[in-house]
């Protein structure tokens, strides 16, 4: 059933399509979301020992992550931008795409502070682990902007502090755009919207993830 706006503009429309706009997947390691599981993860990471599981070493691991990201980006010519509060990071990435010749892979890394789950480790006077507390804190997040052959512009956002939670952000319109191109469907796309097409029925089939049109 069409919505009210579609019904109102029916005489001016040749067809309509429906696809997922934004798709956000939480990518995290469930074991690390409980203190006991986090301690087990640390032991496996450190060769079976948790002797160095303390706040100082957790901060060092976060610092090592940051240095390696920046060093790898420099080695591959990928810009790293430290964003100010309130900046719309996806718009910065779109502006970069529009002004640079970008091939497949990571093309930009944006860094900004945001809330994430972290751990605080408390020790006894003798140095034994007394408590591992899970809490929320502001830490640097690294948004890896990627140009993918099938999904177009996608983003993987990672917290820069253990246990390094992540999100994968996809755009359904970008996927439809690439699938329609492969299928030979001509179209005009403005921003995140298809405004015209040479074959509305085929565009609908692509956006619905149906089987290819046999007439193409």
Mean pLDDT of the chain: 86
> Out of 33-37, 61-65, 186-190, which region has the weakest mean confidence (pLDDT)?
186-190
Report the pLDDT value the prediction gives residue 87, as an integer from 0 to 100.
Answer: 82
pLDDT at 25 over 80: yes
> How many folded domains does the chain comprise?
1
pLDDT at position 199 = 74
Domain that holds residue 95: 17-207
Query: Which pLDDT score, from 0 to 100, does residue 172 have?
Result: 80
Its pTM stands at 0.81
Q: What is the pLDDT of residues 61-120, one digit of tens each?
A: 999 999 999 999 999 999 999 998 888 888 899 899 889 998 889 999 999 999 999 999
Q: Contacts from 124-130 at CB under 8 Å and sequence distance 24+? A: 129/39, 129/50, 129/53
Q: Per-residue confidence at 127, pLDDT binned at 50, 70, 90?
A: confident
* 183 — pLDDT class (breaks 50, 70, 90): confident
Q: Which residues contact 216 (CB under 8 A, 6 or more apart)?
A: 183, 184, 185, 199, 202
> How far is CA 73 from each of CA 14, 45, 83, 89, 144, rounded to the nearest angstrom?
46, 24, 16, 18, 10
Q: What is the model's pLDDT at position 204? A: 74
Mean pLDDT (whole number) for 141-154: 92
Lowest-confidence pick of 7-11, 117-121, 138-142: 7-11
Residue 44 maps to a domain: yes
């Amino acid at each position: 059933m069409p919505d009210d706006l579609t019904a109102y503009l029916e005489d001016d429309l040749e067809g309509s399509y429906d696809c997922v706009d934004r798709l956000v997947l939480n990518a995290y390691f469930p074991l690390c979301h409980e203190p006991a599981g986090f301690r087990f993860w640390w032991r496996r990471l450190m060769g079976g020992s948790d002797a160095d599981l303390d706040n100082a070493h957790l901060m060092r691991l976060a610092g090592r992550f940051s240095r390696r990201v920046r060093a790898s980006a420099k080695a591959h010519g990928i810009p790293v931008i430290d964003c100010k509060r309130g900046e719309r990071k996806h718009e910065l990435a779109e502006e970069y795409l529009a002004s640079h010749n970008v091939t497949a892979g990571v093309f930009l890394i944006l860094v900004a502070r945001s809330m994430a789950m972290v751990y605080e480790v408390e020790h006894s006077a003798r140095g034994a682990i007394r408590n591992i507390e899970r809490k929320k804190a502001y830490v640097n997040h690294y948004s890896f902007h990627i140009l993918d052959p099938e999904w177009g512009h996608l983003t993987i956002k990672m917290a820069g502090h253990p246990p390094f939670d992540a999100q994968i952000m996809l755009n359904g319109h970008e996927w439809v755009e690439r699938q329609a191109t492969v299928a030979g469907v001509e179209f005009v796309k403005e921003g995140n919207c298809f405004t015209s097409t040479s074959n509305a029925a085929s565009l609908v089939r692509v956006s619905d993830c149906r089987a290819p049109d046999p007439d193409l």
